[in-house]
Structure 1
Amino acid sequence: MIQQRAAGAIMGALIGDALGLGCHWYYDLDEMRRDCGAWVDGYLSPRPGRYHEGMRAGEPSQSAILLRMLLHSVLAHGEYSEADFTRRLDEDLFPQLDGTPFCGPGGYTNQSIREAWRRRVREGRSWQDCAGHADTTEGAERAIVLAALHARRPRRVAEAVSSHVALTQGDEAIIAMSTAYNIVLSQLIAGQRLGPDLVPALLGLVHDGELPFHAVTRQNLQPPRPGEGEAARAGTFASPDALLLPHYAAIAARDPGIRIEPAWKAALVYGLPCAIYQQLPAAYYLASRFADDYESAILHAINGGGQNMSRAMLTGALVGAQVGLDAIPRRFIDGLMDGERLCEEALALGALAGRE
């Protein structure tokens, strides 16, 4: 049922965040194995001198804190209120920041949030003028809440997510990829599966004007008939290619001639850094390969190293949406700070999604 899948997406992301806390941003994988063990399979406290130093196993990073801030805002109002969310940033988060990376709740403040803080606090800009140029996934991660809330309304997902991500991300291509990820996630919460058949249906919505992407080609990417290209609807985003990425990742995961072994090496294939165009392919691949196995998907996302926290959040939401909250192993909830309360909040959001 949709409540279970929505809650699975939220909890899947929050667990992925906390699993990454103690082994975050190791780009030397040999060093990661020495510090964290041959296979990370649970929550770890960060080592001295590493990112998030001083925090404890199972605690959230700032990415999860922001996701939960948006979740609380939606639950308080029964809908998404940009004014309420930005008020929470102004009153609850920004007073704890100073514009430097290693300051603020969660032990680290990402680039897009630092840029928004600088423009909002130091320069006094309005929230319509606070977005920076980070090419990272922070906006996509927060917006998982909105994908769950509006799971049955793809157009509303696209509108809400793109507007929300634009608060902190100023690059249209990054907004498009963040929006496409959450459109795909919403379809999984609504009951679809992450596979080669999902994206053709989404492209149909593009051609019908339900999703804000510009497309000239016909079904199955066939060329347009004479005159169709000129009449094609120009949407918010340049093309629907961001929606094609999960399609090809799913094909790769199912093709017996393409093997990434062990699966965590998908991170090496697609890239260890933070950029969204390196994070999303690995997340889609792992979520396609382990669509029914949350534990395998999330642990391979973590053990790939690099920006494994974001990779695990994105993967965890996709797989959590497919398996539902009850199929997430209990040990991950038990070891998570405020795990029971988070489950209650995630289920409350799922109830809102069910009523839409």
Structure 2
Amino acid sequence: MKASVDFQSRQKGAILGMFIGDALAMPVHWYYDRRALYRDYGRVTDYQAPRNPHPDSILWRSAYEAANPSADILHDQKKYWGRHGVHYHQFLKAGENTLNLKLCAQLIDSIVENGTYDSDAFLKRYIDFMTTPGRHRDTYVEEYHRHFFTNYANGRPLRACGIVEKHISGIIGMIPLIVRYADDPPTAKRLALQHLRLTHLGGKMAAAGDLLLDILLPVLKEASLKDTIVDKIKSQDNPLMGFPFLRWLADPDETVIGSRLSSACYVEDALPSVIYLALKYPHNAAGALIANTNLGGDNAGRGAVLGALLGAANGSQAFPKAWVDGLRHPPPNLEPFVSAALDGRRSHAV
């Protein structure tokens, strides 16, 4: 009989899992040619450093011009935009996280510092982090950041700078809030969706956020990950669940993700890909994250969400010690972050 996993271990597991899933995939992030992935890195089973050239990089066709100094979010990385073969995360080290997870660290710090979630406090941190040179070394800055800071530079109110979006990276920022307030599901849902809407608007993102909440919240409270997903398949109350996941379980992962579901970052395929992998490997966190990494595409975005689900299901001990110890910048303030969540219900800032 499987040993019970306590609530705090599930909380820690969800946070560690999102950082681990992102860091493991980081060097082969957005490799769409799997033969090139294996040629350049072999089968990835541990943290590696990224290397140039990146054969599938589209930075050569990417551009961003700051409307004024308040929108300068590229800093010394700007010179690499517009070039062929540049790795999106070229200056990161093995075990380091991409920008999306660095912003999750900022969110965790903000919650611990304020004792609760305060969206205004987070937005202040977000702007400072993105506009201060040297706060991170990631070359790639996703589309939603570019639109947010263009709107900010043009004088829009901070809460009106988000755009209609469709990338799985948007729901990653919800995870710390779901974990923190899992003992109070209505508050967890309200704050997590509010946080999503700061940057990611639209029906696709709302459906993705609802699905993440409907799976992660009960799993944090000891529900079976597999049973929770199967119940969502049966209920068909979310448009992202309309796939024959159970029939696919006997098929190779490479057939499901890449042929039946795109390995790209768009949430209508990326989140169902996470659901498929979580359903196939519900008690094998390491195997699931290794499989996800070697499938390429937006494996970092998928990996963060998948890692959170598996960590919540199996606890912090689910991940190899070498992966936990190898995180270059592990989740900050993790002990006070999860401990404070056990202090009971409180009023929550918005």
Q: How far apart are 1:264 and its partner, in Å?
A: 4.9
Tell me the residue number matched to 1:62: 99
In structure 2, do the counterparts of structure 1 residues 197 and 319 end up closer, same or farther at CA, with 3 Å as the change threshold?
Answer: closer
Within the candidate set 138, 142, 154, 1:106 is matched to 138
Q: Which residue of 1 aligns with 2:125?
A: 88
Structure 2 distance, partners of 1:273, 1:259, is 23
How far has the Cα of 1:173 moved from its partner?
2.6
Q: Is the 8 A contact 1:46 1:52 kept in 2?
A: yes
| TM-score after normalising by structure 2 | 0.80
What residue is the counterpart of 2:329 in the other structure? 338
Asked whether 1:315 is paired with 2:346, we answer: no
- Equivalent residue for 2:238? 241
Task: Name the CA distance, whole Å, in 1 between partners of 2:306 and 2:279.
Answer: 9
Contact 2:204–2:267, Cα closer than 8 Å, also in 1: no
Q: Is the 8 A contact 1:6 1:347 kept in 2?
A: no
- Counterparts of 2:14 and 2:327 in 1: how far apart (Å)? 15
**Alignment pair present for 1:267 and 2:257:** yes
Decide whether aligned partners of structure 1 residues 187 and 4 sit closer, same or farther in structure 2, where only a CA change above 3 A counts.
same
User: Offset of 1:189 from its aligned partner?
Assistant: 1.1
SS of 2:28's equivalent?
A: coil
Unaligned runs of 5+ in 1: 98-102, 204-218, 222-239
Q: After superposition, where does 1:1-356 map in structure 2 within 5 Å?
A: 1-37=6-42, 39-48=43-52, 49-96=86-133, 105-120=137-152, 122-197=153-228, 200=231, 240-242=237-239, 245=241, 252-253=245-246, 258-261=249-252, 263-268=253-258, 269-339=260-330, 342=331, 345-356=333-344
**In the aligned structure 2, how far is the partner of 1:125 from the partner of 1:317?**
33
User: Quick one: distance in 1 between partners of 2:249 and 2:215?
Assistant: 23
Query: Counterpart in 2 of 1:211?
Result: none
Among the aligned pairs, what percent are the same residue?
25
Whole-Å Cα distance in 2 between the matches of residues 147 and 175 of structure 1?
A: 15
- The answer on whether the counterparts of 2:88 and 2:138 sit within 8 Å (CA) in structure 1 is no
Letter in 1 for 2:245: A
Q: Using CA pairs under 8 Å that are at least 6 residues apart, name the structure with larger relative contact order, 1 or 2.
A: 2
CA deviation vs aligned residue, 1:188-230 (integer Å, no higher than 9, x gap): 1111112345675x89xxxxxxxxxxxxxxx957xxxxxxxxx
Question: 1:265 offset after TM fit, Å?
Answer: 4.3
Q: Distance in 2 between matches of 1:346 and 1:182?
A: 21
CA drift at 1:138 = 2.4
Are the aligned partners of 1:2 and 1:191 in contact in 2 as well (CA < 8 Å)?
Answer: yes
Instruction: Provide the aligned C-alpha RMSD in A.
Output: 2.4
Shift of 1:30: 1.0
User: By how many angstroms is 1:258 displaced?
Assistant: 4.5
1:256-287, CA deviations, whole angstroms, 9 ceiling, x for partnerless residues?
A: x74222x3543223111111111111111111
> For residue 139 of structure 1, what is the amino acid of its counterpart?
G
Aligned-partner Cα distance in 1 for 2:108–2:230: 27
Whole-Å Cα distance in 2 between the matches of residues 198 and 31 of structure 1? 33
Q: Deviations over 1:101-155 (max 9, x none)?
A: xx964221111111111111x2121122101123112221011001101112222
Q: Is the 8 A contact 1:22 1:45 kept in 2?
A: yes
3-state SS of paired residue (1:106): coil
- Give the secondary structure class of the aligned counterpart of 1:166: helix
- The letter of the residue matching 1:293 is N
Distance 1:266 1:68, change over 3 A: farther
Q: Distance in 1 between matches of 2:94 and 2:131?
A: 25
**Paired residues, number:** 305
Distance 1:327 1:220 in 2: 29
Output the CA distance in 2 between the equivalents of 1:175 and 1:135.
Answer: 10
Alpha carbons of 1:347 and 1:323: their partners in 2 closer, same or farther (altered >3 Å)? farther
Deviation string 1:166-196 (CA, Å, 9 cap, x unpaired) is 1111213312312321332122111111234
The one-letter amino acid paired with 1:301 is N
Letter in 2 for 1:352: A
TM-score normalised by L of structure 1: 0.79
Structure 2 gaps, min length 5: 1-5, 53-85, 345-350
Instruction: Give the C-alpha shift of residue 334 in structure 1.
Output: 1.9
Q: What is the rounded CA distance, in whole Å, between the counterparts of 1:43 and 1:310 in structure 2?
A: 16
For 2:147 and 2:251, the matched residues in 1 are separated by: 37
CA distance in 2 between partners of 1:194 and 1:118 (Å): 40
